[in-house]
Amino acid sequence: MKQIRLKQGREKSLLRRHPWVFSGAIASVEGSPEPGETVIVRSAAGEFLAQAAFSPQSQIRARVWSWNESDVIDPAFLEHRIQQALTLKQAWVDSAQTDAYRMIHAESDGLPGLIVDRYHDTLVLQILSAGMERWRDEIVAILSKMEGVACIYERSDVTVRALEGLPERTGILFGDTGKPTRLIKENGLRFIVDIQNGQKTGFYLDQRENRAFVRQIAQGKSVLNCFCYTGGFSVYALSGGAESVLSIDSSEEAIQLAQENTLLNLGTLDHSEWLVGDVFQELRTLRDRGRQFDRVILDPPKFAPTASQAQKAARGYKDINLLGFKLLKPGGILVTFSCSGGIDASFFQKIVADAALDAGVEAKIVCRLEQAPDHPTLLAFPEGTYLKGLVCQI
């Protein structure tokens, strides 16, 4: 089999079961492997380390399939891994209350570069690596045989594919999409999800448990939900008895869908206020008008996909958190998130601490939040934890 050999001393991360091999760690590539082809990874001394998918254009030159030399990377191997992932997720998701969840979470489920989200009877698939691209047809065939699956739709329309030398791509892979939207249930609530045009794969499934948390602290409170998208946190807050909820997003289409989701669950738009606009500017306007809230939720898009962008992104995070603190009533709670992989938890806490200092408030972290358990993280792969949340009370 074709193989790559590492430089002296560069096997340490693999021995700790980190699943990535970077280009700078490689001494030689033997046999001219094609994009996505399985290769053996060996130490400088020739010892077997792993089997991995080769990606000649990416800085992540190989992604580990298996630590076992006797494994055969074939459709049966993929099907076993997919079934393992599904079994794990079903143990964490109450199917009576929720029919939308992450079925496959890439490296953390032993399927590097593959994301599959389930929305009722529809699977939305995202392929992020050359290795997974090579097995695309086999993966679709495996998924299409699963019980209750009527449709598979691809949302490989993400910029990271360019790093793997892959074009962006979307479209139907199995079944018939019909309308671009799906109706799902989550923790007993219902949401309309646009699988074809929505952000990510249509819905922020990773925030499921955090939305439920907001519902618990919303009773009788005034709530400001920033970057509200299709209204997840807003609907949960209103269903939890919030006195009022102001939701802000730059997308008029997202606000319209958020209103539909509110009507679907509450039957009314009473106690809700909606604002289409730039969140940074709208927060300044609210501050200047003297508006204050009991709860402020900040769930911005990804400001720093990589560590190289972290310092620049920190300014944006600090600005919105500073304004968020200023808009809180005494004793109020800020629920703030970062989904940027380039900003780790300690750096995010520092940013929020600096924002509180500049806002002139004394704040305490009363709770930390993260992605839902259907988005697991391998202990040896901290990159799998990307969503960081702080609940701060002043």
Tens digit of each residue's pLDDT (9 = 90 or more) over 246-282 = 999 999 999 999 999 999 999 999 999 999 999 999 9
pLDDT at 367 over 70: yes
Instruction: Give the mean pLDDT of 80-91.
Output: 96
Report phi then psi at 361, rounded to 5. Answer: -120, 155
Q: How far apart are CA 203 and CA 115, in angstroms?
A: 13
Q: How far apart are CA 31 and CA 14, in angstroms?
A: 22
Q: How far apart are CA 135 and CA 143, in angstroms?
A: 12
What is the per-residue DSSP string for 121-138? TEEEEEE-SHHHHHTHHH
Asked if residue 225 lies in contact with residue 242, where contact means CB atoms within 8 angstroms, the answer is no
Burial 121-140, CB ≥16 within 10 A → b, else e: ebbbbbbbbbbbbbbbeebe
Residues that are catalytic? 339
pLDDT at 309 over 80: no
Hey, what are 318's tokens? Answer: 């600090």
What is the pLDDT of the chain when averaged over all its residues? 95
> What is the crossing angle of helices 136-144 and 75-92, to 10°?
50
Q: What share of the chain is helix, strand, coil (3-state, %, to 5)?
A: 35, 30, 35
Q: What is the per-residue pLDDT across 165-191, written as a single tens digit (0 to 9) for each?
A: 999 999 999 998 778 999 999 999 999
At residue 341, the pLDDT reads 82
Asked if residue 75 lies in contact with residue 103, where contact means CB atoms within 8 angstroms, the answer is no
Q: How far apart are CA 178 and CA 141, in angstroms?
A: 20
Domains of the chain: residue spans and CATH: 3-66 (2.30.130.10), 75-182 (3.30.750.80), 204-393 (3.40.50.150)
pLDDT at 388 over 90: yes
Residue 258 burial (CB count, 10 A): 26
Pick from 295, 289, 283: nearest CA to 215: 295
Q: How far apart are CA 166 and CA 154, in angstroms?
A: 14
At residue 358, the pLDDT reads 96
- Is the pTM for the entire model greater than 0.85? yes
pLDDT band at residue 50, thresholds of 50, 70 and 90?
A: very high
Taken as a whole, the chain contains a residue count of 394
**What are the residue ranges of helices labelled H in 228-364?**
232-239, 252-266, 279-288, 310-326, 345-359
Instruction: Give the mean pLDDT of 95-108.
Output: 97
Q: How far apart are CA 377 and CA 359, in angstroms?
A: 34
pLDDT at 229 over 90: yes
Q: How far apart are CA 140 and CA 370, in angstroms?
A: 30
pLDDT band at residue 368, thresholds of 50, 70 and 90?
A: very high
Location of structure tokens 């609940």: 391
Instruction: Give the mean pLDDT of 136-149.
Output: 97
Hey, what are 300's tokens? Answer: 């911005």
Q: How far apart are CA 67 and CA 48, in angstroms?
A: 9
